[in-house]
Amino acid sequence: MELTEAINLQNGLTLTITDSSRRIAADTIKVELTFQVKVEVMESFFASSDDYLKVKNALGNELTYEHKMERSFVYDKDEVSVRVALLDTFKNNSMNYLSSPNFAKKMALSQLKDIRLNPFKYQAFPYPERAE
């Protein structure tokens, strides 16, 4: 994975773009880009301290927005143009959303909603003791 770009967004967050492209065959490559934004969990996002603690205890101090875009079996001669097209598509479609002043809060509240709707996903299950 190679960091290709870091973009400071208007809302104070940073979008990182990494390239995980790899060769598939002698003359083809899989072009794979990952877009990530890290969001600090802040108590001010929530209506109550209990909601804040629910998210923080389940997911930690930081949330990660991640989106991947990929194209398989790209001929070597088309690699650069496909990479540029993927970058342009993501930037044109997602930058306004990620740059929104409310993005971090909405993401945190979305995670809270998921924790409430699917609490089983966030419960820690201890490993059973091994019989000796």
Confidence of residue 50 (pLDDT cuts 50, 70, 90): very high
53 part of a folded domain: yes
Residue 127 lies in a domain: no
For range 71-96, the mean pLDDT: 97
Confidence at residue 2, expressed as pLDDT on a 0 to 100 scale: 86
Does 92 fall in a domain? yes
Domain that residue 97 falls in: 2-115
Domain count, the chain: 1
Residue 50 lies in a domain: yes
The mean pLDDT value for 54-60 works out to 93
132 pLDDT higher than 80: no
The CA-atom distances, in angstroms, between 8 and each of 12, 19, 36, 40, 54 are 7, 18, 12, 15, 29
Residue 74 pLDDT more than 90? yes
pLDDT band, residue 21 (cuts 50/70/90):
very high
Q: Can you give the pTM of this predicted structure?
A: 0.86
- Confidence band for 48, pLDDT divided at 50, 70 and 90: very high
d(CA 69, CA 90): 8
Q: Per the domain annotation, does 125 fall within a domain?
A: no
Mean local confidence (pLDDT), 5-19: 97
Q: Compute the average pLDDT of residues 75-83.
A: 97
Given this model, what pLDDT does residue 122 score? 82
Whether 126 has a pLDDT exceeding 60, the answer reads: no
d(CA 12, CA 8): 7
Q: How far is CA 113 from the centre of its chain?
A: 18
What mean pLDDT is predicted for residues 71-93? 97
